[in-house]
Amino acid sequence: MLKRVSNGIIERLEDVTPAVQRAMSDSGNARLRTVMDAFVRHMHAFAREVNLTEPEYDLAIDFLNRIGQTTNDSHNEAILFADAIGFSTLVCLLNNGNAGATETAAALLGPFWRANSPRTENGGFIVRSPTPGAELFVTCEVVDVRGKPLAGVDVDVWQSSPVGLYENQDDTQADMNLRGKFTTDAAGRFSFRSVKPAGYPVPTDGPVGELLRAQNRHPYRPAHIHFLAFKPGHKTLVTQVFVDDDEHLESDVVFGVTRALVGDYRRHDHGEPPAAGIRAPWYTLNYRFVMEAGEAILPKPPIK
Ligand SMILES: [Fe+2]
């Protein structure tokens, strides 16, 4: 039986916020009460601070509606919006690396992770259809916070092509091109062959694109490879490793670049290539991931 909470009749502007707080105060879920109380207080304070006009309110409602309408199985405009206002990175840093006190290897998931990437043996290719670009050899190590190698970690890898498109955005790429799932060996290592990713613009044909144009912001992300490391007993590590010579490293449209996540994508012009038939220049990346102890929870894939 729902109780009728008396909010009181609204007599003045100042009555609105406490009336809403009273109406929500009886929620049985304490966390919901805490979150919604703060959300309403801050939203009301925001409207008062900017003196929100009615046309602006209508525009905001239309913006939110179109975020939903633009989202489908292969595109997630809501995540893009959260990313573009730095909210994803803020939440990520709040929840990892001791709430910002220590450096963390965690970064935003982004809108392109797909579940069920093809299982690939260590050292294997994730290039699954012709993808011209500089060869890249990636070797990674996964350790716990004490530096002990972690064996049996499942690691999803996904990246854009050298023209800056994920396979789900590009009909010329095979399904699951530049995606793979690896398992770390007894030394906590996994490795794979790929091509050097390129930076790319986030999709700008929706409401978030309109916002970026209105703010004179470019839509580019610096090139990166995404990683998701999963092992029971450890907090799932979602991260990205950025290409260190990218021109947009310091102006990522979604604020994903932290110091710890700039990789050493080393260019090789001479010497013995790591595999037969490789022409210079090729690149190597060595990176070490640290997994914190915790609960292994997989995020919901943003696209199918
Ligand atoms: Fe990405």
Taking the chain (304 residues) in runs of 10, the rounded mean pLDDT of each run is 73 94 91 97 98 98 97 89 94 76 71 92 95 95 95 97 91 95 98 95 95 97 96 93 95 92 94 85 95 88 82
CA of 28 to the centre of ligand 1 (A): 39
CA of 110 to the centre of ligand 1 (A): 6
CA of 5 to the centre of ligand 1 (A): 47
CA of 109 to the centre of ligand 1 (A): 8
**pLDDT at residue number 138:** 97
Q: Report d(CA 157, CA 149) in Å as an integer.
A: 19
Q: Is residue 202 within 8 Å of residue 84, measured between CB atoms? A: yes
Cβ atoms < 10 Å from Cβ of 211: 15
CA of 114 to the centre of ligand 1 (A): 12
Report the run of H or E that residue 290 belongs to, with start and end.
strand 282-291
**pLDDT at residue number 96:** 78
CA of 60 to the centre of ligand 1 (A): 27
CA of 159 to the centre of ligand 1 (A): 6
CA of 141 to the centre of ligand 1 (A): 21
CA of 43 to the centre of ligand 1 (A): 31
**pLDDT at residue number 102:** 58
CA of 225 to the centre of ligand 1 (A): 7
The structure's pTM equals 0.85
**pLDDT at residue number 129:** 94
Using the 8-state DSSP alphabet, how is residue 136 labeled? E
3-class DSSP state of 195 = strand
CA of 226 to the centre of ligand 1 (A): 6
**pLDDT at residue number 56:** 98
Q: Is residue 129 within 8 Å of residue 173, measured between CB atoms? A: yes
CA of 164 to the centre of ligand 1 (A): 9
CA of 205 to the centre of ligand 1 (A): 17
CA of 215 to the centre of ligand 1 (A): 22
Q: Report d(CA 105, CA 180) in Å as an integer.
A: 20
CA of 69 to the centre of ligand 1 (A): 22
Strand 189-195 to strand 179-183: parallel, antiparallel, or no bridges (unpaired)? unpaired
Q: Report d(CA 4, CA 297) in Å as an integer.
A: 38
CA of 103 to the centre of ligand 1 (A): 21
**pLDDT at residue number 21:** 94
CA of 299 to the centre of ligand 1 (A): 16
CA of 20 to the centre of ligand 1 (A): 40
**pLDDT at residue number 230:** 96
